[in-house]
């Protein structure tokens, strides 16, 4: 939300979009973001306060962490979603998912998609947890 005077809005103010003064871009998709939001990169940096530039591709450790987090979820029959906390997955299971993802150009979506498909297979088989043959 953005606050201007006595009203709050979810959009930047009309007619107040300043031209970007910086020609050296910190953000890889600066022009697209500026066009979509109506804010300049300087305005966004001022609003965000703290940011950290991430590497262009996730590391193996990043993929491991995501896989562990997603594989530890169990089916919650009350909420009918994969939200219940479960036991830590077997390390070999994590290695298998991450190893497959590393062969893909888009490794992070590969981890998520593999686990999403495994969850579908587990639910189809009536299980509340994923096993290695689901992947």
Give every CB contact of residue 116 below 8 A, 6+ residues apart in sequence. none
**Can you give the pLDDT at residue 20?**
44
**Can you give the pLDDT at residue 67?**
95
How far is residue 73's CA from residue 86's CA, in Å, rounded to a whole number? 5
User: pLDDT digits over 80-93, tens only?
Assistant: 999 888 888 999 99
How far is residue 55's CA from residue 108's CA, in Å, rounded to a whole number? 13
Q: Is the CB of residue 118 less than 8 Å from the CB of residue 135?
A: yes
**Can you give the pLDDT at residue 115?**
95
Neighbours of 84 (CB within 10 A): 15
Least confident of 54-63, 65-74, 104-113: 54-63
Under DSSP, is residue 81 helix (H, G, I), strand (E, B) or coil? Answer: strand
pLDDT exceeds cutoff 80 at 17: no
Band of the pLDDT at 31, cuts 50, 70, 90?
confident
**Can you give the pLDDT at residue 48?**
77
Residue 132: which of 104, 79, 91, 87 has the closest Cα? 91
pLDDT exceeds cutoff 50 at 27: yes
**Can you give the pLDDT at residue 133?**
87
pLDDT exceeds cutoff 60 at 13: no
Q: What is the mean pLDDT of the chain?
A: 81
pTM of whole model > 0.85?
no
């Amino acid at each position: 939300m953005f606050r201007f005077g006595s009203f709050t809005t979810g959009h930047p103010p009309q007619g107040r979009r300043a031209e970007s003064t910086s020609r050296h871009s910190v953000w890889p998709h600066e022009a697209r973001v500026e066009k979509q939001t109506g804010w300049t990169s300087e305005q966004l940096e001022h609003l965000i306060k703290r940011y950290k530039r991430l590497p262009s591709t996730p590391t193996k450790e990043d993929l491991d962490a995501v896989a562990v987090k997603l594989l530890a979820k169990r089916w919650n029959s009350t909420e009918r979603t994969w939200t219940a906390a479960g036991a830590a997955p077997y390390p070999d299971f994590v290695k298998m998912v991450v190893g497959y993802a590393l062969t893909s150009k888009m490794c992070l979506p590969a981890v998520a998609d593999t686990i999403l498909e495994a969850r579908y297979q587990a639910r189809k088989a009536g299980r509340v947890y994923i096993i290695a043959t689901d992947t």
